[in-house]
Copies of this chain bind each other. A is one copy, B any other.
Amino acid sequence: MEDKQKKSVTMKDVAQRAGVSVGTVSRVINQEQGIKKTTLEKVQQAIAELDYIPDVYARGMKTNRTETVALILPTIWHPFFSEFAFFVEEALSKKNYKLLLCNTDGAKKEIEYLSMLRQNKVDGIIAITYSPIEDYLASNIPFVSIDRTYQDKEIACVTSDNQTGGELAARMLLEKGCQHLAFVGSHNNTVNETKKRRQFFEETVRLTDKECLIFDLEEPFDNFLEQLEAFLEQHPQIDGIFAINDFTALEVMHILVKQGKRVPDDVQIIGYDGIRMAKEHEYLVSTIKQPLEQMAEEAVSILLSIIDHQTPSRQSVLPISYVEGKTTKNFSKTLDRKRYQ
């Protein structure tokens, strides 16, 4: 699904910009062997700069659909990403699509898969990525981003309701009696929905007369744990912590226990994600749970709409829920859990 403006870019334009023949551009697009590395790079750069997408008809003639979707993740070896991949594969399988799995390291692989998309070697991409790939994305291509939005580009994005999640974490800690609250996390410089967790947690606490301390390192960083330990040592009054994700909540818990605090008696902790080691296992901590199955289904549904040349909504925000684990005081067992969803 090209946008109309880009449709006018032809193979000839690419050849001109790269200073090579049209035949050479064709050979690069068809991934033929024996092309000089410098030539290859020149052509690839021209393709990226012009946002060239091979003609639909020509593509259709050559290969038809692959019925394959790539899933790009930082690492599959992580319960959040592996649960998401599980449900993406399930949703794709129902539509007779296959899943190509890609663990990233840096932006290299993302760009490689985006190039496969252009060459019609995959029909679409679902990606959780923090790499600088803006320049390689065109508007309305079959690409669904999780959590991250791209300025000036109409890229579909599926995310959980991070705003309500941040607010809910604050309200739960306040209702459970916390007087000195803190946010613990880290962030990078991408435009990312997950930054709302801290923002709306902080705003909600600031509406009360309670304290709201912030520990929020910018990536990349060294010694996250050492700095976190010092922060918690310096502020022994903290009795309620919202962590950016469940693994960070676990780290907070381990440091506090090492410092002689009891969880949840002295300090209550709420994470974000809803991580379990496997299906049927327990949640690791009290948490704001992302609806991973629905997020996976929504991402697949939006992606297949784009592949079918329909125009889906650009952003889909799915509802979170609070899950009571062992890191908060559970004296509200009789409360209607639904209130918090």
Known: A75-B86, A78-B82, A109-B93. A100 touches B278 (CB 8 A): no
Chain B contacts for A93, CB-based, 8 A: 103, 109
Chain A 60-99 interface residues, beta-carbon cutoff 8 Å to B:
68, 71, 75-79, 81-83, 85-86, 89-90, 93, 98-99
Q: Least Cβ distance of A327 to chain B in Å?
A: 16
Q: Are the C-beta atoms of B103 and A100 separated by less than 8 Å?
A: no
Question: How far, in angstroms, from A109 to B98 measured CA to CA in the complex?
Answer: 11
CB nearest neighbor in B for A292: B77
Question: How far, in angstroms, from A326 to B78 measured CA to CA in the complex?
Answer: 22
Q: Are the C-beta atoms of A101 and B89 separated by less than 8 Å?
A: yes
Interface string of A211-247 (1 = CB under 8 A from B): 0000000000000000000000000000000000001
Q: Are the C-beta atoms of A278 and B75 separated by less than 8 Å?
A: yes
Check if A102 is an interface residue, CB within 8 A of chain B: yes
Question: How far, in angstroms, from A99 to B275 measured CA to CA in the complex?
Answer: 25
Which of A77, A81, A89, A98 has the most C-beta atoms of chain B within 10 angstroms of its own C-beta?
Answer: A77
Question: How far, in angstroms, from A98 to B112 measured CA to CA in the complex?
Answer: 11
Q: Least Cβ distance of A72 to chain B in Å?
A: 11
Known: A82-B78, A109-B93. A68 touches B279 (CB 8 A): no
Check if A277 is an interface residue, CB within 8 A of chain B: yes
**Chain A contact residues, majority secondary structure:** mixed
Question: How far, in angstroms, from A174 to B203 measured CA to CA in the complex?
Answer: 58
Question: How far, in angstroms, from A79 to B279 measured CA to CA in the complex?
Answer: 11
Question: How far, in angstroms, from A309 to B83 measured CA to CA in the complex?
Answer: 36
CB nearest neighbor in B for A276: B77
Question: How far, in angstroms, from A273 to B19 measured CA to CA in the complex?
Answer: 56
Known: A247-B278, A277-B277, A278-B247. A90 touches B78 (CB 8 A): no
CB nearest neighbor in B for A100: B98
Chain B contacts for A68, CB-based, 8 A: 100
Chain A 10-46 interface residues, beta-carbon cutoff 8 Å to B:
none
Question: How far, in angstroms, from A78 to B86 measured CA to CA in the complex?
Answer: 10
Question: How far, in angstroms, from A308 to B179 measured CA to CA in the complex?
Answer: 66
Chain B contacts for A81, CB-based, 8 A: 82
**Which of B79, B90, B98 contacts A277 (CB under 8 A)?**
B79
Question: How far, in angstroms, from A27 to B75 measured CA to CA in the complex?
Answer: 39
CB nearest neighbor in B for A82: B82
Known: A90-B103, A99-B100. A85 touches B79 (CB 8 A): no
Chain A 248-304 interface residues, beta-carbon cutoff 8 Å to B:
275, 277-279
Chain A 137-159 interface residues, beta-carbon cutoff 8 Å to B:
none
Question: How far, in angstroms, from A268 to B122 measured CA to CA in the complex?
Answer: 50
Residue positions of A touching B, CB distance < 8 A: 68, 71, 75-79, 81-83, 85-86, 89-90, 93, 98-103, 109, 247, 275, 277-279
22 A-B pairs in the complex with CB atoms less than 8 angstroms apart: A68-B100, A75-B279, A76-B89, A77-B86, A77-B278, A78-B82, A78-B279, A79-B79, A79-B277, A79-B278, A81-B82, A82-B82, A86-B103, A89-B101, A89-B102, A89-B103, A93-B109, A98-B102, A100-B101, A247-B277, A275-B277, A277-B277
- 10 tightest A-B contacts by CB? A82-B82, A77-B86, A101-B101, A78-B278, A77-B83, A99-B101, A76-B86, A76-B82, A76-B85, A77-B82
